[in-house]
Amino acid sequence: MHTYTHHISLIHNTDKPYECKECGKYFSRGSNLIQHQSIHTGEKPYKCKECGKAFRLLIQLTRHQKFHSGEKPFKCKQCGKAFSFPTQLNRHENIHTGEKPFECKECGKSFNRSSNLVQHQSIHTGAKPYECKECGKAFCLPVELHLQLSRHQKTHTAFQYQYQLIEHQRIHTGKPFECKECGKAFRLHIQLTRHEKFHTGEKPFECGKCGKAFSLLTQLHRHENIHTGEKPFECKECGKSFNRVSNLVQHQSIHAGVKPYECKECGKGFNRGSNLIQHQKIHSSEKPFECKECGKAFRYHYRLIEHHRMHTGEKPFECKECGKAFTLLTQLTRHRNIHTGEKPFKCKECGKAFNRGSNLVQHQSIHTGEKPYGCKECGKAFRLHLQLSRHQKTHTGEKPFECKECGAAFRHQCQVIEHQRIHTGVKPYECKECAKSFSRGTDLRVHQRMHTGEKPFECKECGKAFRHHYQFLGHSRIHTGENPYECKECGKAFRHHYQFLGHSRIHTGENPYECKECGKAFRHHYQFLGHSRIHTGENPYECKECGKAFRHHYQFLGHSRIHTGENPYECKECGKAFRHHYQFLGHSRIHTGENPYECKECGKTFRLRSVFIAHQRIHTGLKPYECKECGKAFTVTGQLTRHQKIHNRQNLLIIREF
């Protein structure tokens, strides 16, 4: 009875007579104070005889010893899974019962543990009572849970909790928990436990809706939100909702601009420690996850899982609107925006909106001019890490993605997917304005700018605007004089990469684009497209002023300047202006005296490519332009045009006689 009275007076009357002299914290029992004081003294009297690890409390040692003995006395009656501790069994049983007895009075959400309810309630109250002593930053979770605060404090050199210091010291001393299968080491035992499931293939947590199984309970919970669509955590800044509070916390750092985790190599800041760890692998070039099918290695395990789906063809993420399936959840999320049209992330500089925060961050670097990713081979800098990765393959020559139809190899997976559509003829992206279809989503987006008239890329030097970013880049090099793409064969330099590629094929003799109708091959894809329209009769570019239609976009542009009177290409030597860039180039060679096109048969050189091609037909005897009236053939179109006037005059005389 005395014990009951003692319990009532201490717990319910909140009487805590035992005070810690170090930090001022109070306790209801003396034994609790003694345990607490060992945090300050660092004393660990309970030592494991197996591995020598020491603990402050006897219960901690008892739990630890079960890792060595493998003892799991607490067994689930539903599925037979065994656990080391009764608390683990109790949590596990909630999976089968679905019981969630702790309900939030604000929004009705239920939880299987009271601690989770306490965490959740801080979202509604907005309270952040727990402050970091180093920098004053406040957190909403109680100190007993200390999830946010403990993560944050790792950014400082001092630690509030002993276990935090121990975990931190392992960064310096090493990783004591090693996997017996592959030798990989971990700082924390829970990390090793999770990792071991990759080797065993154990997936004990199964989704009741679709039967998909997962290694971790957290993975199952995340997956279940796909079926329910529940997103209870809403950002008060922009209204975006999330299915996990951790995602909301990460998202809020975008608005706050907080990036406490800084890379010591390049100075880049991150809002999460895990992002910093991932980023540091870029500097170390470590790729521990290797594909057993093709041997390709990856920095991150999730990249390996995504890569495996290329071999298996698995597409687990399906759109409920149209039934389309995707390999990655991110692809499904992006696709859904086509149906919803939602773009919650807006650029404050130009007002452009995006459906993902990461796209906004990438876009903002256009305004700042920041290029943090530098190539160690040639020093060239890039805005995005993806751009650097692609660029580095130009030095290595690596082309790991091969087309099974024709054997063509590519540096990037997206390139082989786009290439395969040449063989299949699939064009899944259709313009709602004119019903034209495209094999790539980016081509559709660019095409739509023709209808809207949008030109988002503006030159700060002369104010000229462009629909395409690559056009803007190429144009800006006119002002800077930069020609970054140099031919190793002849030393000629180019403003655009596609110009360099086309030029290099002059040396190699490669014509990779072949017409299936007539067998003619071309160096450039745009040449092949223009040629194929001869067979189809397609003239997709129509002038709104006079209705005239054109096979090529450059022809349409040149024609439209007849109506506008625009001559954008001006010669600095004599001031003469031209409608077309090729006219300007040909003219500029009058001043420079350059004749770049040389005939291998007779050594004669030419200023213009068109004249050079016409000259070559003298040697080959080719006469591709035939008169439909009399069948006579000609070397150049001009000769055919002059010849046709003879028939026109003859026809006119016949008409007059009648």
Please tell me the distance from the alpha carbon of residue 344 to that of residue 444, in angstroms, as a whole number.
21
CATH number of 176-229: 3.30.160.60
CA distance 186 to 391: 33
Indicate if the pLDDT at residue 136 is higher than 60: no
149: burial class by Cβ within 10 Å (0-12, 13-18, 19+)? buried
Could you give the CA distance from residue 238 to residue 254 in angstroms, rounded to a whole number?
11
Q: Which of 71-80, 472-481, 569-578 is modeled with the greatest confidence?
A: 569-578
Compute and round to an integer the Cα radius of gyration of the chain: 35
What's residue 144's pLDDT?
34
Share of the chain above pLDDT 90, in %: 3
Q: Give the residue among 99, 98, 65, 97 at the shortest CA–CA distance from 84.
A: 65
Question: Which residue type occupies 194?
Answer: R
pLDDT higher than 60, residue 437 = yes
- The 10s digit of each residue's pLDDT in 372-388 is 788 888 888 887 777 78
- Assess whether pLDDT exceeds 70 at residue 72: yes
Mean pLDDT of 121-134: 60
Looking at residue 327, what DSSP letter applies?
A: S
pLDDT at 302: 77
Tell me what pLDDT residue 574 has.
Answer: 93
Q: What is the pLDDT of residue 22?
A: 80
Give Cα 275 to chain centroid, integer Å: 14
447/75 Cα distance (integer angstroms): 62
Give pLDDT tens digits for 273-307: 777 877 777 777 677 788 888 888 887 777 888 88
Residue 50: other Cβ atoms inside 10 A: 11
Helix or strand run (H / E) with residue 271: none
Strands, DSSP E only, in 238-380? 241-242, 261-262, 269-270, 289-290, 297-298, 317-318, 325-326, 345-346, 353-354, 373-374
At residue 657 the predicted structure's pLDDT band, cuts being 50, 70 and 90, is low
* Burial (CB count within 10 angstroms: exposed 0-12, middle 13-18, buried 19+), residue 221: middle
pLDDT for res 638: 84
Indicate the residue type of 516: K
Average pLDDT (398-402) is: 78
pLDDT at 64: 80
Which stretch of 144-148, 161-165, 295-299, 365-369 has the lowest confidence by average pLDDT? 144-148
pLDDT higher than 50, residue 109: yes
* 3-state DSSP assignment of residue 400: coil
Q: How far apart are alpha carbons 50 and 274 in whole angstroms?
A: 32
Least Cα distance to 342 among 239, 467, 225, 447 occurs for 239
Least confident of 38-42, 43-47, 338-342, 400-404: 338-342
Question: How large a percentage of the chain has pLDDT more than 70?
Answer: 88
More confident residue, 613 or 171: 613
Contacts of 459 (CB under 8 A, 6+ apart): 465, 466, 472, 475, 476, 479
Of 130-139, 260-269, 322-331, 571-580, the one with minimum mean pLDDT is: 130-139
State CA 38 to chain mean position distance: 48
- Per-residue pLDDT reduced to its tens digit, 79-89: 778 877 787 78
pLDDT classification of 133: cutoffs 50, 70, 90:
low
342-355 residue pLDDT tens: 777 788 888 888 77
- Work out the pLDDT band at 131, boundaries 50, 70, 90: low
Look at residue 480 and tell me whether its pLDDT is greater than 50. yes
Q: Can you tell me the distance from the alpha carbon of 316 to that of 445, in angstroms, rounded to the nearest whole number? A: 27
Structure confidence at residue 157 (pLDDT):
45
At residue 44, the pLDDT reads 83
Per-state percent for the chain, helix, strand, coil, to nearest 5: 45, 15, 40
> Which two structure tokens, joined as six digits, stand for 521?
């091959």
Q: Residue 5 has what pLDDT?
A: 45
Q: In the chain, what are the domain boundaries?
A: 176-229
Q: In which band, very low, low, confident or very high, does the pLDDT at 576 lie, cut at 50, 70 and 90?
A: very high
Tokens of 373: 């990713």
State yes or no: pLDDT of 74 exceeds 50.
yes
Residue 141 has pLDDT above 50, yes or no: no
Question: Which pLDDT score, from 0 to 100, does residue 134 have?
Answer: 54
Q: Residue 237 pLDDT more than 50? A: yes
Asked if 46 and 29 touch (Cβ cutoff 8 Å), the reply is no
Q: Is the model's pLDDT at 143 over the cut of 50?
A: no
**Distance, CA of 335 to CA of 317 (rounded, Å):** 11
Reference 232, options 110, 354, 343; nearest CA is 110
Residue 362 pLDDT > 80: no
Of these ranges, 253-257, 444-448, 450-454, 640-644, the one predicted with the greatest mean pLDDT is 640-644
pLDDT of residue 172: 61
**Residue 49 or residue 122, greater confidence:** 49
Residue 602 clears pLDDT 90, i.e. is over it = yes
**The pLDDT of residue 130 is above 70:** no
Cα dihedral 538/543/546/552 (nearest 10): -50
- Tell me the pLDDT band of 11, cut-offs 50, 70 and 90: very low
Q: Using 50, 70 and 90 to split pLDDT, how confident is the model at 220?
A: confident
Task: Tell me the range of 186-200, 224-238, 626-640 where mean pLDDT is highest.
Answer: 626-640
pLDDT band at 228 (very low <50, low <70, confident <90, very high): confident
pLDDT at 591: 92
Q: Which two tokens mark 395?
A: 């030095």
